[in-house]
Amino acid sequence: MFEIDARGMACPLPVIKTKKALKENESVTTIVDNDIATQNLKKLAEQLGLTYQREEISNTHFVTVISKEGAQIEISNTVNTEELVPEKIGYTVAIDTDVMGRGSDELGANLMKAFIYSLLEQDELPETIIFYNGGVKLAVEGSDVLDDLKQMKEQGVTIYACGACLNFYGLTDQLAIGEITNMYRIVEMMSSAIKVVKP
């Protein structure tokens, strides 16, 4: 069993190092120091169709084990993960702030609210919406655009929020919609989209 001590590593390094180690090892144990990292590693295991185990030693010491036993797909010996991502998906919306444009934040908040509502009214909805940095504030409890986001999710739009960003703003427990993801996966999704729209 291969072991990685990823304590102190910023997202998405634990995921990247674990993914690379799985190319040459049947099982990889990754030690991390926060719960967000364990969630990202779990998503990696799910994406690859591998088994996942998690043990919490303390609130700053977590041990995860990802194993190829029962794997649904074969992991190649190269770093290329193209086979894990659809060749091209519909358009993606990437939102990195809770206001739109520069100048007045009050106006910017109103513009962002109008932007999200206008997305909902489009004939073609985005396939994915990704929130990162200050944008994660739009996906938490009390957000003015939460109802519109919920309607889009009900219509098949997949919503993601950057876990490291939620953690930075102390909002992890307040996430009200969407899944927590990491920068490695965000890059994969954005690079495989037909186009990326950024307000």
Q: Using alpha carbons, list the distances in angstroms from residue 30 to 3, 14, 74, 115.
A: 6, 8, 20, 40
The CATH number for 92-197, chosen from 3.40.50.150, 3.30.465.10, 3.40.50.1110, 3.40.1260.10, is 3.40.1260.10
Q: Using alpha carbons only, what angle is made at residue 48 by residues 190 and 181, rounded to the nearest 5 degrees?
A: 45
Query: Residue 55's beta-bridge partner residues?
Result: 63
Report the share of the chain in percent with pLDDT over 70. 90
Model-wide pTM > 0.75: no
Domain limits, the chain: 2-69, 92-197
Rounded to whole angstroms, what are the CA distances from 88 to 91, 132, 176, 195?
9, 22, 28, 9
Give how far Cα 51 sits from Cα of 68, 116, 162, 185, Å.
Answer: 7, 37, 23, 19
The tens digit of pLDDT for each residue in 134-181 reads 999 999 999 999 999 999 999 999 999 999 999 999 999 999 999 999
Query: How far, in Å, are 25, 45, 83 from residue 75 at the CA level?
Result: 10, 12, 9
At residue 81, the pLDDT reads: 39
Q: What does the pLDDT read at residue 131? A: 98
User: Which residues in the chain come in under a pLDDT of 50?
Assistant: 76-87
The verdict on domain 2-69 having CATH code 3.30.110.40 is yes
